[in-house]
Amino acid sequence: MKKFWIVLASLALVAAFAMPAAAVDVKFSGEFYVAGDYYNRTTPNKINTGGFSYDFGGASTAFFHQRLRVQTEFAVSPGLSLITRFDALEKMWGDTAWNGTRGDTFGRPAGSSRYYGNADYLESKAQENIEFEYAYIQYASPAGIFFVGYIPWDVWGTSFGDSKRASGGIMWVKPLGNWTIGALYVKNWEGSTTYKQPWLNRNDNDDNAYVGIVSYANDKVDTGMKVAYRRIANNKGIYPVDSNYDWNLPPAEVNGFLLTPYFKGQFGPVKVQGELEYFDGRVEYNFDQRHTDIRALSAYADAQVAIGPAYVGGLFAYASGVDAAKADKKLTGTNALASEMCWGGRDFKPTLILWNEDVVDWAGNITFQGPGMKNAKLFQIYAGAAVKDFDFKVSLSHARAVETNTIQWYYYTSSIIKQPLPRVAKGSSYGWELDGTVTYKITNNLSYMVGAGYLWTGKYFERKDYDFFEAKNIYMFTNKLTLTF
């Protein structure tokens, strides 16, 4: 019944917005980039023992990649628009793995995936030549602004915790002077369409979010609070009630509340910002029909001082982890899921190597840590300057794991069931990373960036149970040409 009323309300809103129009004003904006990257190795690990040496990902890699992103607004009438966004030709140059042996510009079946020779490692990042991501109605009414369709919703406060993902949903925002209030309903997963076998009774296998926001902003401060209720039941009833099953299989259902306050302020030459996420919820299981409480915490703070055309600053970021040695084995995978309820997010890219989504997307998960910061404490100092058409920035970061006993590697007992290999780290340090970038503004819309990063890997990447398991340093070079319009 709940689903029926949600569907009915959605259709009513769409019908109310669908008014005739004599003309449509179309506005375009977007970005095109071409980037070239080099990495000296693709993992930090190497084994040396008894004359046997095996270097995990010891080979270097270099490649070009690109993306065209176009956002279009069809202004139907004052206050009423249809907004879409698509990405096109988002791929490496010369990469034909995504569609077999044909060239890059041929289409592929919508359900296909990149294949690396092992059925357990299918990569679904490869895109269609044109892939639409946003499509929604924006309607400014006296009662507030409504957004209906596939909307970007996982964005709030600072960049910390943001992922800009799109899901089907309904959002309402109402400005009230310096205050803003709003509400959001999001559907990330619908069991009714995923499982078209009514005898399985999985119509309730949904992933929904219900969100309320309030914020206040003036010329000096911007602050707010988000309260979200999240229910994730994608795997409810999928795995048999069998206590002998893999203890790290996904839980049947996760539900709970997420609180996210943030603050931004500009006080003379000093700029500060911060955000906190706290999740409190419960997990239910299929295999032994029990439940447990879970909690997770993440936090971020950044302070910057302007000194003429230059600036200096420092940041701290935290994301709670899981101690696999202390947790009940049947809860470990669930606790790991809980830690991902409060994480750095895909849009938070504090370094060029650690927790950078671009590295994971194009070079692979070379440090087993991304995308999005998890189980970590990050300390960073940075400085930069703008000189004529050049922007310079350099940063030094140090990161440590919150918990060193984490599940990091997996082996497969079949093409479906994935068993964890507990990895006992020799220490908590992820290491130190030094990054530098220089960006040259060629024109108002065209810029060129060059950068380099060096990660001195820490003891976390060595195994306590194997003294011969070495950690190797990683460095990378990047350059990127970006056109905005």
139-182 pLDDT per residue, tens: 999 999 999 999 998 899 999 999 888 899 999 999 999 999 99
| Whole-number average pLDDT of the chain | 80
Give the position of tokens 């994608």: 234
Check residue 316 and give its pLDDT: 98
Check residue 253 and give its pLDDT: 79
The least confident of 217-226, 419-428, 461-470 is 419-428
Is residue 378 over pLDDT 50? Answer: yes
Check residue 150 and give its pLDDT: 96
Residues of the chain with pLDDT > 70: what percent? Answer: 70
The least confident of 84-93, 139-148, 241-250, 370-379 is 241-250
d(CA 281, CA 295): 6
The answer to whether the CB of 474 falls within 8 A of the CB of 26 is no
Nearest to 25 by CA among 79, 95, 68: 79
Check residue 54 and give its pLDDT: 65
Residues with Cβ within 8 Å of residue 113, at least 6 apart in sequence: 122, 123, 124, 126
Query: Which residue stretches of 278-406 are H helix?
Result: 329-341, 357-362
Check residue 167 and give its pLDDT: 92
141-150, 226-235, 336-345 — most confident range: 141-150
Map out the domains of the chain as residue ranges.
174-297+322-341
Q: Tokens for 30?
A: 């977007």
The answer to whether the CB of 227 falls within 8 A of the CB of 160 is no
Check residue 307 and give its pLDDT: 96
Is residue 203 over pLDDT 90? Answer: no
Check residue 431 and give its pLDDT: 95
Distance of CA 83 to the CA centre of its chain: 23
Check residue 288 and give its pLDDT: 56
Query: Residue 120: pLDDT band by 50, 70, 90 thresholds?
Result: very low
Give the position of tokens 């979200």: 228
Check residue 199 and give its pLDDT: 53
Is residue 464 over pLDDT 50? Answer: yes
Is residue 123 over pLDDT 50? Answer: no
Q: Verify cis geometry, omega within 30 degrees of 0, for the bond prior to 371.
A: yes
Give the position of tokens 């927790």: 355
Distance of CA 313 to the CA centre of its chain: 25
Count how many residues are written for the chain.
485
Is residue 458 over pLDDT 50? Answer: yes
Residue 393 phi/psi, 5-degree rounding, is -150, 140
Check residue 109 and give its pLDDT: 39
Check residue 330 and give its pLDDT: 40
Q: Which residues of 164-174 are buried (b: 16+ CB within 10 A; e: fewer)?
A: ebbbbbbbbbe
d(CA 218, CA 40): 47
Half-sphere exposure in the Cβ direction for 286 (13 Å, CA): 21
d(CA 475, CA 353): 8
pTM, whole model, 2 decimals? Answer: 0.82
d(CA 38, CA 254): 40
Is residue 249 over pLDDT 60? Answer: no
Residue 3 phi/psi, 5-degree rounding, is -65, -40
Instruction: Provide the 10 A C-beta neighbour count for residue 417.
Output: 12
- DSSP conformation class of 425: B
* Mean pLDDT on 75-84: 95
254-297 tens-digit pLDDT? 889 999 999 999 999 999 999 999 998 887 766 555 677 778 89
* Mean pLDDT on 380-393: 97
Check residue 99 and give its pLDDT: 47
289-325 tens-digit pLDDT? 567 777 889 999 999 999 999 999 999 999 987 655 5
Residue 192 phi/psi, 5-degree rounding, is -65, -35
The least confident of 13-17, 38-42, 84-88, 320-324 is 13-17
* Mean pLDDT on 109-134: 50
Is residue 212 over pLDDT 70? Answer: yes
The least confident of 29-33, 245-249, 288-292, 435-439 is 245-249
3-7, 222-226, 368-372 — most confident range: 222-226
Is residue 112 over pLDDT 60? Answer: no
- 474 or 249: which carries more pLDDT confidence? 474
